Amino acid sequence: MAMVGLFWIGEDSVYVGAEPAGATSGVRLSEDGVEAPGVGQGRFWTWDEVVRIETHHVAVRSGVRRLASMAFDAACVVVTGDGELPPAFSVEVATAEEAVRVDVLTTVTGGIYLPSEYGLSTTLLRRLADGGAEIGDLLAWGREHAAEGTPPREEREALLRKWAGA
């Protein structure tokens, strides 16, 4: 699997945030629609039903501030011995009838995203919801490249620009 912006992309699945494990919740994007496994009995919406996908409470900082935050967190773990799960953020999936918020875990080291990748990721989410982008493009990339792992930042940003049509 590979991290590209807010997305965790595998050979056959795309998640906003980390792939859920155990009882954790998540948001999975597929050719058929948007799935929120673990929310109640699990929820599913077709792309025709989805009018908006938004993120909330995502940690976004410049490169220098991101490194400082990560260093502080590492020092706290060394001193206290208390490691934590990656930070969570919320994904809101909205249809004409409802809006459902799902907490997901971050995929990026330290749980803090760079502004450029965050902005491109949210643009892509908007384009996916309004039909201006296709999840198939991310899945095709995943089938060919996800096993190689997360690409460098410049390549991630280029992929996000391409997929979002930005």
The pLDDT confidence band at residue 77, using thresholds 50, 70 and 90, is very low
Q: Report the SS3 class of residue 75.
A: helix
Closest CA to 100 of 161, 16, 159: 16
Contact indicator for 53, 17 with CB cutoff of 8 Å: no
Query: Rounded distance, CA 17 to CA 26, Å?
Result: 7
Using CA atoms, how far apart are residues 89 and 106, in angstroms rounded to an integer?
Answer: 7
pLDDT for residue 139 is more than 60: yes
The three-class DSSP label of residue 92 is strand
Question: Mean pLDDT in the chain?
Answer: 85
User: How many whole angstroms separate alpha carbon 81 and alpha carbon 85?
Assistant: 13
Mean pLDDT of 49-57: 96
Beta strands in the chain (DSSP E): 2-4, 7-9, 14-16, 27-29, 33-36, 43-46, 50-56, 88-95, 99-105
Q: Which residue has the higher pLDDT, 156 or 62?
A: 156
pLDDT attached to residue 25: 84
